[in-house]
Structure 1
Amino acid sequence: TTESMKQSTNYSAISRMRYAHQSVGGFTLMELMISIVILAVLFTFAVPSFRELMLNNKMTANVNDVISALRLARAEAIKRDSFVTVCASNAAGNNCATDDPPIPFHQNGWLVISDTGVAGTMDGTDELIRSYPPISDENFTIQYNNGNFVSFNTLGFVSSVSNGTMSFCDKRGNQTGVPINIVISSAGRVRTEHPTAPDCES
């Protein structure tokens, strides 16, 4: 009958309105909730991975800066036919640190200097070749096992008869693969390694 058809039409219209209220941008409310849960799970895994990526990039950048300084010093020593030194900077940033025990390289940054006078200090006609700023991240450290400086002679060899090691650590501590060492051979060669038994503070 006509009355029944009207009631059926009204019921269909109400149903469509209810369904429309439960849809958002083409998604049902249930689909939207599932999407939010999936995004939350992905975010939980993505944040630590992103943090690891940022720390790895910072570690690599700092290691590369020190390697750059060491290679510059070696090349300048050969070119100038005189000693050139990479040293931990003093607090003023205008000379090598002479602290005992040695201060870490990251604290005040490091310098590349011509070093014709007293070893490991800028005096007389010595020249500042390049300076590197301190590392702003207080959780990052560079420790050198042979004092405050590395000196290269006219042949590009270092003054120490044994290998020197610079240890790079960050806030992650002793986790495998995190610390990096720069090893400086007596011949002045520079290489990196991941120590099997790192000594980093957490």
Structure 2
Amino acid sequence: MADGVDFKDLARRMEGAVAAFKQDLAALRTGRASANLLDPVTVQAYGSTMPINQVATITVPEPRMLSVSVWDQSLVGAVDRAIRESNLGFNPIMEGSTLRIPLPELNEERRKELAKLANQYAESARVAVRHVRRDGMDAIKKAEKEGIITQDEARTQSDRVQKMTDDTISTIDKLLSEKEAEIMQV
């Protein structure tokens, strides 16, 4: 930071935005089952709200089926209720302490909704990256104003921050196009 901007910190923050975007995309349902599909589900258990993966094991026994093995028999009803109320469109079947969740075939309308949601996630990630860029540019301007760096160094560093931003946004766009293709695949 002695000479303008901390590029390692900017890179770390931009990579964090991409990692969060990847996590959001993993929770989007395509045509195949994935244990990540239940990541957004939270369960009322032991007097607090907990992620489902803290009260059960999620497996994928078949390409269009999820299996949720609840560890505590008394929580089966709460897990079932949480999955039904999660607005993911799942209808679990209870078998003792295990819930089997068949994944219905996605129709064209639902695929378009999921693609739109993926676009929203991508735009949020882009905005986060632009905020990081703004912070970097502000640090460069401040350093130049205080006389820590010259005008030429400020220009060079600004170009470097912009290149980092462009590269990160192109990575987000690439991930988005791959996910959209996966969602729209029948």
TM-score, normalising length from structure 1? 0.29
Which structure has the greater CA radius of gyration? 1
TM-score, normalising length from structure 2? 0.30
Q: Specify which structure has the higher proportion of strand.
A: 1
Q: Specify which structure has the higher proportion of helix.
A: 2
